[in-house]
Amino acid sequence: MWIYEKKLQYPVRVGKCDVRMARYLMEQYGGADGELAAALRYMNQRYAIPDKVIGVLTDISTEEFAHLEMIATMIYKLTKDASVQELEAAGLGPNYAQRDHALFYQNSAGVPWTASYIQAKGDPIADLYEDIAAEEKARATYQWLIDMTDDVDLQDGLKFLREREIIHAIRFKESVQILIDEKDKKRIF
Amino acid sequence: MNSQERVWTPYRGPFDPCPPVPFKTYVVPPNQFITFQPPNLPQFSLPEALKHGTLWPSLYSPYESKFKGVR
């Protein structure tokens, strides 16, 4: 059960009409290391992981959906008023041909999202290390996106999202430590 | 350049077709030095925490565009 708050986790401002960035932001919307992949990965892994770290996966998955909403807002703001010519110039002509101005879960190259981007191995350590790697890859993607724009407002939102990935990686590393320590306790008793 | 940034120089061949980049950088964020966050770390004020994306200054990782607005 979730409670929806009708506001963004962090304010999204876009200061420059740069349709090109909408296409690149799709890497974090429907890409392999994007927010949708992250949210669905954690939301599914939590069913087969020791009780002590289920909450971490639930919380981070929920926050990833909030990030997905922020990315969608950025893409929407950049494309909603764009003409067909502007979309084509930004490489979004194929997107318009398929769905007008609608958003879709695809990466910056137009490849639709697929469940094969994510894994569930059922081994808590293996799954948590996959999650740590996913966070670092998302952090790197945010860096490349920040590199690609000179819009300080857009950069501000992306910097927030990048920092959150760093925090999530710490929380997953702590989860690994919690599972390691549990093993030691049993040996003592 | 901040203390989380690392610099390396790619190999330059004698017959490289393009002008060489002087150096490359990558970021080592603070999460690489923390396996378990200790309690009672100093905290940002709440508005500052929202701005930085974390409550704790020691977990904050700054990042600026490598191209400083020049594409």
Q: Is the pLDDT of residue A187 over 80?
A: no
Residue whose C-alpha is closest to residue A68's, from A20, A99, A98, A103? A103
Whether residue B48 lies inside any domain: the answer is yes
Query: Can you tell me the distance from the alpha carbon of A124 to that of A141, in angstroms, rounded to the nearest whole number?
Result: 26
Whether residue B71 lies inside any domain: the answer is no
Q: Is the pLDDT of residue B66 over 90?
A: no
Q: Can you list the alpha helix ranges (DSSP code H) found in A80-151? A: 84-89, 93-99, 124-148
Give Rg (Cα) of chain A: 18
How many domains is chain B partitioned into structurally? 1
Average pLDDT, chain A: 95
Residues in chain B: 71
Residue whose C-alpha is closest to residue A179's, from A43, A55, A52? A52
- Predicted pLDDT of residue A9: 97
Residue-wise pLDDT for A48-58, tens only, equals: 999 999 999 99
- Predicted pLDDT of residue B35: 86
Residues A61 and A43: beta-carbon distance below 8 Å: yes
Residue-wise pLDDT for A114-172, tens only, equals: 999 999 999 999 999 999 999 999 999 999 999 999 999 999 999 999 999 999 999 99
The arithmetic mean of pLDDT across residues B5-9, rounded, is 95
**Chain B partners within 8 Å of A163 (Cβ):** 52-54, 60-61
Whether residue B66 lies inside any domain: the answer is no
Whether residue B68 lies inside any domain: the answer is no
- Predicted pLDDT of residue B67: 78
The residue segments making up the domain with residue B11 are 5-59
Whether residue B69 lies inside any domain: the answer is no
pTM (2 decimals)? 0.93
- Cβ within 8 Å of residue B37, ≥6 positions away: A170, A174, B56, B59
Q: Measure A52 CA to nearest chain B CA, in Å.
A: 15
**Chain A partners within 8 Å of B61 (Cβ):** 162-163, 166
The arithmetic mean of pLDDT across residues B9-30, rounded, is 93
Whether residue B64 lies inside any domain: the answer is no
Q: Is the pLDDT of residue A174 over 60?
A: yes
Query: Which architecture does CATH list for A19-188?
Result: Up-down Bundle (1.20)
Restricting to B residues 30-69, those with a Cβ less than 8 Å away from any Cβ of A are 30-31, 34-37, 50-54, 59-67, 69
Across the interface, whether the CB atoms of B34 and A173 are under 8 A apart is answered: yes
Q: Is the pLDDT of residue A109 over 60?
A: yes
